């Protein structure tokens, strides 16, 4: 790890100001991803602002019947919350499908949204990576790409977003609340939160320097059967090859988002009109325009079959 | 138990023996770096940013001034000489560094000591002692839940935290009904312990040891 200075912030605005005033400074909450990357010198922040004492660790009902999840709510607590288990089960399921018990005890809601890709070329500092070092190229293109993106990628980057939680947040139409250094706040729909790589894969979200996530809000429950299916190389503690978050209503309508296929949770509301016609009709539309590599073309039929399994699971549970 | 008592009466610990042999090896070859072979807490290098933190480790408060980069794992091992907690991968993948912080099991390698002011930390040394083993420690001995033993402190701290999570009703990936209180089946145990790797492959005996303690209702 490169040396860094360290401070503990007392208020969200103070934390935002502390990061905004020093180029390269970073917030640290759970630290489970950032410290891993700092040890490998993929991240080299000169200053860390510890946000753990900001009190953003509550899950509260909103005035419109939804739920406001503090940025620092740990993955374990969010997955175990009785309201989440009852009304937003797809979120509980997605969280529990990710990481290990130890990591979920530390990892936070906001940190999970901000975690970096596990593309092997991003992790290997001897390789070209436009995300890690803009302009250096992309060794993943033409390289080992089995785990990487099949849609929404660019010649500059074919990394995927690694989060399970974010896929559930996308299917639930969550919103991300933030605060700036000057105290201004804003609300970003989850659909707009993560950016596709295009020519600037180092820009992963629309957050401005020093902008701090304070909460993630869920709209009021939509009912239906909630399913999260994750397909991976081992039964536990592995990132998704493909995952499916689905909410299925009694009449067969519903919502679907995919994980493991793109740089952001992959959802297309217009494809959801095909839900009553079955998995193939949905994924044909949802993954139209996919450009897989030879090594990851298997993800297209895998996504269709994972969705078919999710729909079958939902019918059995209805 | 007999073997444990024997171990307790050894005149020096395994770590002291290893340090002694490492020192003599260095004497035989090149100059000894006194700081590196010392068992005294390492001081931060001059000019390196530091942070002060007070931790209650196994019930005893310690105030440390640390290089900000010091992980909780390195604070325990290198500054407090609590070397029961092991460094395996140092990237949160193997679970050897698992300790219990404020009642929760975490990977001590993926958190900075400075992030835990006032925290209560329990390590393998605080769970039990050679003369008074924690039920999980006794069960691992009884069921031979290890071969080389390197992952064992992490397995045991993780199991203690995991059994507490089950008692609190926290669900897992394999819990069938999210509305029901989870029970500790073999599938549940395997899923919940997946963050602890045993390269010797002692998993079946680890499962037996944890199951016995879970069924006995003490951990």
Distance CA A153, CA A158 (A): 5
- Quote the pLDDT of residue A318: 83
Q: Is residue B182 part of a domain?
A: yes
Helices (H), B53-197: 72-74, 124-127, 135-143, 152-167, 186-192
Q: CB atoms < 10 A from the CB of B128, how many? A: 16
Pairing of strands A5-8, A47-50: parallel
Check pLDDT > 80 for residue B42: no
CA–CA distances in Å: residue A23 to residues A160, A208, B44 = 26, 12, 25
Q: Is residue B28 part of a domain?
A: no
Q: Give the distance from residue A128's alpha carbon to the nearest chain B alpha carbon, in angstroms.
A: 22
**B51, B112, B189: which to substitute to probe chain A, counting the most A Cβ within 10 Å?**
B112
* B111 and B62 inside one domain: yes
Q: How many domains does chain B have?
A: 2
Cβ–Cβ gap A102/B178 under 8 Å: no
* B63 and B113 inside one domain: yes
* B139 and B209 inside one domain: yes
- Quote the pLDDT of residue B20: 53
* B116 and B70 inside one domain: yes
- Quote the pLDDT of residue B36: 42
Q: Give the distance from residue A82's alpha carbon to the nearest chain B alpha carbon, in angstroms.
A: 8
* B61 and B118 inside one domain: yes
**A105, A232, A317: which to substitute to probe chain B, counting the most B Cβ within 10 Å?**
A105
Q: What is the 3-state secondary structure (H, E, C) of chain A?
A: CCCCEEEECCCHHHHHHHHHCCCCCEEECCCCCHHHHHHCCCCCCCEEEECCCCCCCCEEECCCCCEEEECCCEHHHHHHCHHHHHHCHHHHHHHHCCCCHHHHHHCEHHHHHHCCCCCHHHHCCCCCECCCCCCCCECCCCCCCCCCCCCCCECCECCCCCCCHHHHHHHCCCEEEEECCCCCEEEEEHHHHECCCCCCCCCCECCCCCCEEEEEEECCCCCCEEEEEEECCCCCCCCCCEEEEEEECCCCCEEEEEECCCCCCECCHHHHHHHHHCHHHHHHHHCCCCCCCCCCCCHHHHHHHHHHHHHHHHHHHC
Which of A 51-90 lie inside 8 A of B, CB atoms?
A: 52, 76, 79-80, 85-86, 89
Choose one of B107, B127, B147: the last residue of a domain.
B127
What's chain A's average pLDDT? 97
* In the block, residue with structure tokens 């993926």: B110
CA–CA distances in Å: residue A37 to residues A44, A118, A148 = 8, 10, 19
CA–CA distances in Å: residue A78 to residues A4, A98, A132, A224, A248 = 31, 13, 31, 20, 22
A10 interface with B at CB cutoff 8 Å: no
Encode pLDDT of B54-73 as tens digits: 999 999 999 999 999 999 99
Cβ–Cβ gap B117/A8 under 8 Å: yes
| Three-class SS state of B118 | coil
Distance CA B70, CA B91 (A): 14
CB contacts of A39 in chain B (<8 Å) are: 90-91
B113 interface with A at CB cutoff 8 Å: no
* In the block, residue with structure tokens 């790890």: A1
A48 interface with B at CB cutoff 8 Å: yes
Question: ipTM of this model?
Answer: 0.97
* B96 and B165 inside one domain: no
Structure tokens at B158: 């993780």
Q: Do A63 and A19 contact (CB within 8 A), yes or no?
A: no
Check pLDDT > 50 for residue B211: yes
Check pLDDT > 90 for residue B27: no
Distance CA A155, CA A204 (A): 16
Which of A 18-47 lie inside 8 A of B, CB atoms?
A: 28, 30-32, 35-36, 39
Cβ–Cβ gap A106/B107 under 8 Å: yes
Q: Is residue B79 part of a domain?
A: yes
DSSP 8-state assignment for residue B33: -
Q: Which residue of chain A comes nearest to B49, CA vs CA?
A: A5
* B119 and B153 inside one domain: no
Q: Is residue B45 part of a domain?
A: no
CA–CA distances in Å: residue A135 to residues A63, A203, A263, B191 = 46, 13, 18, 41
Flag residues of chain A having pLDDT under 50.
Answer: none
Nearest of A73, A27, A17, A34 to residue A215 by alpha carbon: A73
Which of B 116-155 lie inside 8 A of A, CB atoms?
A: 117
Q: What is the dihedral of CA B70, B72, B75, B77, to 10 degrees?
A: -120
The tally of CA atoms less than 13 A away on the side-chain side of residue B191 is: 20
Cβ–Cβ gap A48/B68 under 8 Å: yes
A8 interface with B at CB cutoff 8 Å: yes
* B70 and B116 inside one domain: yes
Q: Which residue of chain A comes nearest to B114, CA vs CA?
A: A6
Q: Which residues of A99-121 are buried (b: 16+ CB within 10 A; e: fewer)?
A: bbbbbbbbbbbbbbbbbbbebbb
Which residues on adjacent β-strands are paired with residue A154?
A157
Characterise A223 by phi-psi region: left (phi > 0), alpha (psi -120 to 50), beta (else).
Answer: left
Cβ–Cβ gap B173/A96 under 8 Å: yes
B98 interface with A at CB cutoff 8 Å: yes
| Three-class SS state of B112 | strand
Q: Do A125 and A46 contact (CB within 8 A), yes or no?
A: no
Containing domain of residue B143, as a range?
135-214
Nearest of A247, A212, A213, A211 to residue A228 by alpha carbon: A247
Q: What is the CA radius of gyration of chain B?
A: 19
Q: Which residue of chain B comes nearest to A75, CA vs CA?
A: B170
The confidence band for B46, taking pLDDT boundaries of 50, 70 and 90, is: confident
Q: Is residue B159 part of a domain?
A: yes
Which residues on adjacent β-strands are paired with residue A256?
A246
Choose one of B80, B97, B127: the last residue of a domain.
B127
Q: Nearest Cβ partner of A31 from B51, B111, B194?
A: B111
Q: Give the distance from residue A37's alpha carbon to the nearest chain B alpha carbon, in angstroms.
A: 9
Q: Do B197 and B146 contact (CB within 8 A), yes or no?
A: no
* B86 and B105 inside one domain: yes
Which residues on adjacent β-strands are paired with residue A49?
A7, A27
Check pLDDT > 60 for residue B218: no
CA–CA distances in Å: residue B28 to residues B22, B33, B34, B131 = 10, 13, 14, 38
Q: Is residue B188 part of a domain?
A: yes
Q: Which residue of chain B comes nearest to A96, CA vs CA?
A: B173
* B113 and B55 inside one domain: yes
Cβ–Cβ gap B195/A237 under 8 Å: yes
* Percent of chain B whose pLDDT exceeds 90: 77
CA–CA distances in Å: residue A178 to residues A15, A57, A182 = 12, 15, 12
- Quote the pLDDT of residue B8: 43
* B140 and B210 inside one domain: yes
- Quote the pLDDT of residue B217: 52
DSSP 8-state assignment for residue B47: T
- Quote the pLDDT of residue B26: 45
Choose one of B71, B97, B127: the last residue of a domain.
B127
B87 interface with A at CB cutoff 8 Å: no
* B114 and B149 inside one domain: no
CB contacts of A97 in chain B (<8 Å) are: 173
CB contacts of A6 in chain B (<8 Å) are: 49, 51, 68, 112, 114
* Percent of chain A whose pLDDT exceeds 90: 99
What's chain B's average pLDDT? 87
Q: Is residue B104 part of a domain?
A: yes
Pairing of strands A67-70, B50-57: unpaired
B208: domain CATH number? 1.10.150.120
Helices (H), chain B: 2-8, 14-29, 34-37, 72-74, 124-127, 135-143, 152-167, 186-192, 203-216
Check pLDDT > 60 for residue B30: no
Q: Is residue B12 part of a domain?
A: no
B170 interface with A at CB cutoff 8 Å: yes
Nearest of A131, A30, A104 to residue B191 by alpha carbon: A104
Encode pLDDT of A267-286 as tens digits: 999 999 999 999 999 999 99
Cβ–Cβ gap B106/A236 under 8 Å: no
B59: domain CATH number? 3.10.20.30
Q: In terms of C-beta density within 10 A (0-12 exposed, 13-18 middle, 19 or more buried), how is residue B98 classed? A: buried
């Amino acid at each position: 790890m490169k040396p860094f200075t360290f401070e503990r912030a007392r208020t969200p605005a103070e934390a935002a100001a502390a990061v905004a005033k020093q180029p390269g400074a970073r917030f640290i909450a759970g630290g489970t991803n950032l410290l891993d990357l700092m040890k490998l010198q993929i991240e080299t922040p000169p200053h860390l602002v510890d946000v753990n004492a900001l009190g953003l660790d509550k899950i509260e009902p909103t005035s419109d019947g939804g739920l406001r999840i503090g940025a620092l709510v740990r993955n374990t607590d969010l997955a175990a919350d009785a309201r989440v288990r009852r009304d937003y089960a797809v979120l509980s399921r997605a969280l529990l499908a990710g990481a290990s018990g130890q990591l979920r005890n530390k990892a936070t809601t906001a940190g999970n949204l901000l975690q970096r890709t596990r593309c092997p070329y991003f992790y290997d500092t001897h390789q070209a990576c436009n995300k890690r070092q803009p302009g250096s190229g992309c060794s993943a293109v033409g390289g080992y790409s089995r785990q990487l993106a099949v849609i929404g990628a660019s010649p500059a980057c074919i990394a995927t977003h690694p989060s399970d939680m974010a896929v559930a947040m996308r299917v639930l139409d969550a919103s991300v609340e933030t605060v700036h250094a000057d105290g201004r706040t804003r609300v970003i729909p989850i659909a707009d939160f993560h950016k596709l790589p295009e020519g600037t894969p180092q820009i992963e979200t629309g957050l401005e320097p020093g902008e701090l996530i304070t909460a993630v809000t869920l709209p009021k429950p939509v009912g239906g059967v909630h399913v999260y299916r994750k397909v991976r190389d081992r039964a536990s503690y592995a990132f998704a090859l493909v995952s499916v978050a689905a909410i299925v209503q009694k009449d067969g309508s519903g919502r679907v988002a995919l994980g493991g296929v793109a740089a952001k949770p992959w959802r297309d509301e217009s494809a959801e009109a095909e839900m009553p016609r079955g998995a193939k009709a949905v994924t044909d539309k949802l993954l139209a325009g996919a450009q897989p590599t030879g090594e990851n073309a298997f993800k297209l039929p895998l996504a269709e079959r994972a969705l078919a399994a999710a729909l079958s699971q939902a019918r059995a549970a209805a | 138990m007999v073997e444990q008592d024997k171990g307790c009466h050894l005149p020096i610990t395994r770590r002291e023996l290893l340090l002694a042999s490492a020192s003599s090896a260095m004497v035989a070859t090149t100059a000894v770096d006194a700081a590196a072979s010392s068992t005294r807490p390492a001081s931060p290098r001059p000019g390196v940013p530091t942070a002060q933190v007070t931790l209650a480790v196994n019930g005893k408060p310690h105030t440390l001034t640390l290089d900000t980069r010091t992980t909780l794992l390195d604070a325990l091992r290198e500054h407090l000489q609590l070397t029961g907690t092991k460094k395996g991968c140092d990237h949160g993948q193997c679970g050897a560094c698992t300790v219990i912080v404020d009642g929760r099991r975490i990977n001590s390698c993926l958190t900075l000591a400075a992030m835990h002011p006032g925290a209560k930390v329990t390590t393998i040394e605080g769970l039990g002692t050679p003369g008074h083993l924690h039920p999980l420690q006794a069960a691992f001995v009884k069921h031979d839940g290890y071969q080389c033993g390197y992952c064992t402190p992490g397995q045991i701290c993780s199991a203690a935290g995991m059994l507490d999570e089950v008692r609190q009703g926290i669900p897992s990936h394999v819990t069938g009904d999210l509305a029901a209180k989870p029970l500790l089946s073999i599938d549940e145990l395997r899923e919940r312990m997946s963050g602890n790797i045993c390269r010797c492959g002692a998993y079946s005996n680890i499962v037996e040891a944890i199951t016995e303690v879970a069924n006995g209702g003490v951990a």
